Structure 1
Amino acid sequence: MNSKKTAMITVATLSVVVPALVAVLIYSPYKIPADMLWLKDIPAFNAIINSITAVLLIVGGIFAKRGVIKWHKVSMFSALVLGVCFLVAYVLYHSTMESVIFGDIDGNGVLDEAEAAAVGSMRSVYLTVLLSHILMSAAVVPFVLLAFYFALAKEFDRHVKIVKFTWPVWLYVSVTGVLVYILASPYYLG
């Protein structure tokens, strides 16, 4: 099997497995028992990772436009490594902790009328941002992987063509990941 075919199979496999794993972990009623207090800090850690990733994507884009390819590579590879770190932490968190419900003031998952009124339209904003973040994060995985493959394979015309779409979507996912955390942070258990 040639390396290009192997790369495409790897990209396709990861593009299906990663979003499927995340979906299973979020929607599974079963959680791995873990009493480690630091687990509750993973959402904040992931928000920091998303923030740094957004900065790296912007800096990497500037380097590319200016033709500073060495630093473009460093920036983009660093963003990819942070994406992998994010994914590992995300999987760890969602395999051990219940997902946060926006507006769940008392932690029981049920809002009374006063709580529901207080949450109001912010819940619609939150859910819109969250849904777009989730859909775009699943959709961008194969394109990020292909962009890296094309760069590594020195197929720069294909790399440039795909990053015109991939870069803004990846940046959107990083920024909205931080926004989702900021909006939901009052509802994480102390």
Structure 2
Amino acid sequence: MKTTLNTSDKVAVPVIIALSIAVPVIVLVLMLLPERYNIFGAEAITFPLFHGILNFLTAVLLIIGYFFMSVQKYIQHRNTMIAAFGLSVIFLVSYVLSKISNEPVPYGGEGMFRYVYFFILITHIVLSGIIVPLVLFTMYRGLKGEYEKHAKIARWTFPIWLYVAVTGVLVFLFMMPYY
């Protein structure tokens, strides 16, 4: 069976793919900046605290959105997931600004905490790159009313997005003493 892209897919799919490549590349480039420009004069903890709060709220919204979907409250599910997406976009913009503004802070923990921290951090970073296209495609399919495709991809998106949000909070908690 041959599948063809409809008109909106011919625009949306390349845009989603481009964003999915551009976002991690931009973050990587900004992390490697030789010089920082503290645009807002923010203290080192300001951005990470804000990011921790955004990740926490995103995780809460994801769980609420899942609940609404499970009880077939689809309008509330849609609105909650759009809010979670909005918080993620705010996080991404703020994260980019933080990479421009502040030097990276090394983790100072030792022993078993160090291994746990780096496991959480590495899985968080890898899945953060993977979640961008998953969220974008899931949102696109849901908002287009392609609920079967939406549900199929959401089965993967939800647990990965929730993991990224929760581990974002954990990374902040691990790093908090070093800011």
TM-score scaled to structure 1, two decimals?
Answer: 0.87
Structural mapping, 1:81-120, within 5 Å: 81-103=86-108, 119-120=110-111
163, 166, 169: which one aligns with 2:160: 169
1:41 CA drift (Å): 0.5
Structure 2 counterpart of 1:151: 142
Instruction: Report the alpha carbon displacement of residue 35 of structure 1 after superposing the two structures with TM.
Output: 6.0
Identity of aligned residues (%): 40
2:136 aligned partner, one-letter code: L
Q: For residue 30 of structure 2, what is the aligned residue in structure 1?
A: 25
Structure 1 residues 153, 133: CA separation in 2 closer, same or farther (over 3 Å shift)?
same
Q: What is the total number of aligned residue pairs between the two structures? A: 174
Aligned equivalents of 1:88, 1:124: Cα separation in 2: 29
- Per the TM alignment, residue 33 of structure 1 is displaced from its structure 2 partner at its CA by 4.4
Which residue number corresponds to residue 3 of structure 2?
none
| 1:57 counterpart residue number | 62
Per-residue deviation, 1:68: 0.1
Separation of aligned partners in 2, 1:40 and 1:186: 10
Equivalent of 1:76 in 81, 91, 94: 81
- Aligned alpha-carbon RMSD (Å): 1.5
Task: Report which of the two structures shows the higher radius of gyration computed on alpha carbons.
Answer: 1
Shift of 1:122: 1.3
Distance in 2, Cα, partners of 1:35 & 1:62: 38
- Report the AA paired with residue 48 of structure 2: P
2:30 and 2:100 in contact (8 A); partners too: yes
**Structure 1 letter corresponding to 2:83:** S
Please tell me whether residue 141 in structure 1 is matched to residue 124 in structure 2.
no
Q: Structure 2, unaligned stretches of length 5 or more?
A: 1-5
